[in-house]
Amino acid sequence: MQKELQLFFEKQIEVFEQNFAKICESFDFDAIHDMRVAVKRLRAIMMLAEQLQPGFKSAETDIEIRELFRISGKIRDAQVQKNLLATYSEKSNINFSELATFLISFENKSIKKFNKYIHQNTASFFTGKIAIALPPIFANSEDPKIRSAIELLLQQLMETAGNLKSNQRHDEQLHEIRRKLKQCSYLLSVFEKGDKTLARKSKTLHELEKANDLLGEWHDHVVARALIFRFLSRKNENNFPGFSRYKILLTEINYRKQILYKEIVRFMESELGL
């Protein structure tokens, strides 16, 4: 397991650096996506490293790469929200042209900020600290320790999912489930073929992953609400004639968001007995 973990880590560093170079040469949405996936996998490895070495704090190591992920995420948010708005516009037969223009501007500003940030730095600026900090942790972790750490992460994921029914902080719980679900999936994909115990756990996780589409759509509606409130921040019924249209849109988005929450809980109950 130790060897597989090291190889997986090195591969993600390589994928990140390759796509970073592509983006610097010519702005490329596919390369941005692939780079973001590599970052997600690296952050999953750092989450595991925190379990393997309790004194290790990823927040002190991945500051730069986390900021790059955040900035690039704004581009994706704009693209997803443009499609979501078009869907709601067609469904309600209401024109939201002002918000559509706002989203285009938001996307252009996000691309500009991303380009400026990425061209100010090199790939090693983002991966340097990680490349130094993680290999010694792997080297000092034998297979049983790695397996136990992964099992603990899976247990934490299941506990978080189980708390959905009793904890009223639903949004925070769903965000945490969405994050941990993907991170655990990345880690299990490294080991499940050669480890029967983790392969069985992976089967359970794959069932939970079926909720990922629901979680993704739920998250898109959370972002939609935030951007609409941002768009309406200096508008009201007196200075913006179209204000009532956006109150309707917010009502529809809130309704769908609540439906998705119920569907996610129902799915977890039926598949995992939570």
Are 61 and 129 in contact, with CB atoms under 8 Å apart? Answer: yes
- From first CA to last CA, the distance across the chain in angstroms is 31
Angstrom distances, CA of residue 158 to CA of 108, 161, 163, 204 = 39, 5, 9, 10
Beta-carbon contacts of 140 under 8 Å, excluding residues fewer than 6 positions away, are 52, 53
User: How high is the pLDDT of residue 273?
Assistant: 63
Determine phi and psi for 239, rounding to 5 degrees: -105, 0
User: CA angle 163-169-173, nearest 5°?
Assistant: 55
DSSP string, the chain: -HHHHHHHHHHHHHHHHHHHHHHHHS--HHHHHHHHHHHHHHHHHHHHHHHHSTT--GGGTSHHHHHHHHHHHHHHHHHHHHHHHHHHHHHHT---HHHHHHHHHHHHHHHHHHHHHHHTS-HHHHHHHHHHHHHHHHHT--HHHHHHHHHHHHHHHHHHHHTTTT-S-HHHHHHHHHHHHHHHHHHHHHHGGG-HHHHHHHHHHHHHHTTHHHHHHHHHHHHHHHHHHHHTTT--TTT-TTHHHHHHHHHHHHHHHHHHHHHHHHHHHHHH--
Question: Whose CA is closest to 125, among 24, 53, 29?
Answer: 24
Helix axes 243-272, 170-191, angle to 10 degrees: 50
User: How high is the pLDDT of residue 157?
Assistant: 77
| pLDDT tens digit at each of 274 positions of the chain | 888 889 999 999 999 999 999 999 988 899 999 999 999 999 989 989 999 998 888 888 888 999 999 999 999 999 999 999 999 999 999 999 999 999 999 999 999 999 999 989 999 999 999 999 999 999 999 988 988 888 888 888 777 777 766 665 677 778 888 888 788 778 877 765 666 666 666 666 676 667 788 889 999 999 999 999 999 999 998 899 889 999 999 999 999 999 998 888 888 777 766 6
Are 38 and 12 in contact, with CB atoms under 8 Å apart? Answer: yes
Which tokens hold the place of 176?
């945490």
Which tokens hold the place of 148?
């136990």
CA torsion sign for 84, 87, 91, 97 is positive
Tokens 């129902």 identify what position?
266
Question: How far is it between the farthest Cα atoms of the chain?
Answer: 66
Tokens 């959905």 identify what position?
164
